[in-house]
């Protein structure tokens, strides 16, 4: 019996160790409850329902990560697709458009560095910027391509595009129109609106007459 250690007694923690453990446990539970409160307080109803079975800050966090966090490979694919397929928004100024591409390019490079220990050169970003420019910048593209590659930079491209955009006919006309509307007296604005409405009515009448003519021709045939 003795050789089988049947007389061994379960060890008991000392009183001071028990007190220290309880103190640490209460501190942890307090912090954990606060973490849960912060997480739940920033969730919408869908996420609250999603984490309804979670009973600790750690379990809340792991549940949210499992649903929303992409793997590194998935994130890299998404960033590459976003960079190579994005187009210039018609309402964006060229500087704003370049800022968006630069942000996407920076995120893509960060992910590439983590995933493949590699980065893309700024030359690719400049090529991408040029490929997304509208037809109004055709002449600028020709001039830019004549600059030696080693003398090109993203900042230089951005600044030259911004200056070119300011002198585009469409930009000048738009600026002049806005300025004219701001300075125009109320009477002039009312007359302008009336003229615009009349022009719209005339176009509508022409389209209606054209449709009637088509119907008549169809009937005759």
- As a whole number of Å, the CA-based R_g of the chain is 34
Q: Yes or no: say if 111 and 79 are a contact pair by the CB < 8 Å rule.
A: yes
Residue 85 lies in a domain: yes
Residue 62 lies in a domain: no
Q: How many structural domains compose the chain?
A: 1
25, HSE (Cβ side, Cα atoms, 13 Å): 6
Q: Please give the pLDDT value at position 21.
A: 86
**CA nearest neighbour of 63 among 32, 81, 36, 83:** 36
Residue 138 lies in a domain: yes
Q: Which two tokens stand for residue 21?
A: 């453990």
Residue 83 lies in a domain: yes
What is the percent of the chain with per-residue pLDDT over 90, rounded to a whole number?
Answer: 40
Mean pLDDT for the stretch of residues 190-200: 58
> CA 32, CA 60: separation in Å to the nearest integer?
11
* pLDDT tens profile 129-161: 999 999 999 999 999 999 999 999 999 999 999
Segments forming the whole domain that contains residue 130:
72-167
> CA 213, CA 208: separation in Å to the nearest integer?
9
Q: Which two tokens stand for residue 9?
A: 């007694």
Q: Please give the pLDDT value at position 107.
A: 93
Q: Is 171 exposed, middle or buried (0-12, 13-18, 19+ CB in 10 A)?
A: middle
Residue 217 has pLDDT above 50, yes or no: no
Q: Please give the pLDDT value at position 141.
A: 94
Residue 50 lies in a domain: no
């Amino acid at each position: 019996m003795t050789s089988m250690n049947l007389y061994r007694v379960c060890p008991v923690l000392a009183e001071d160790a028990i007190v220290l453990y309880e103190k640490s446990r209460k501190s942890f539970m307090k912090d954990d409850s606060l973490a849960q409160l912060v997480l739940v307080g920033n969730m919408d109803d869908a996420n609250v329902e999603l984490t309804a079975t979670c009973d600790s800050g750690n379990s809340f966090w792991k549940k949210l990560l499992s649903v929303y966090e992409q793997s590194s490979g998935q994130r890299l694919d998404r960033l590459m697709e976003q960079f190579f397929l994005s187009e210039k928004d018609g309402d964006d100024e060229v500087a704003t458009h370049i800022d968006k591409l630069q942000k996407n390019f920076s995120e893509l490079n960060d992910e590439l560095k983590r995933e493949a220990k590699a980065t893309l050169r700024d030359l690719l970003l400049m090529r991408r910027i040029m490929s997304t420019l509208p037809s109004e910048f055709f002449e600028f593209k020709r001039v830019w391509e004549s600059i030696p590659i080693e003398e090109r930079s993203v900042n230089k491209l951005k600044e030259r595009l911004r200056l070119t955009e300011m002198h585009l006919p469409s930009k000048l006309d738009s600026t002049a129109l806005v300025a004219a509307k701001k300075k125009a007296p109320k009477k002039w604005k009312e007359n302008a609106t009336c003229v615009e409405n009349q022009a719209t009515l005339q176009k509508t009448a022409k389209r209606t007459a054209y449709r009637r003519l088509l119907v008549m021709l169809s009937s005759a045939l």
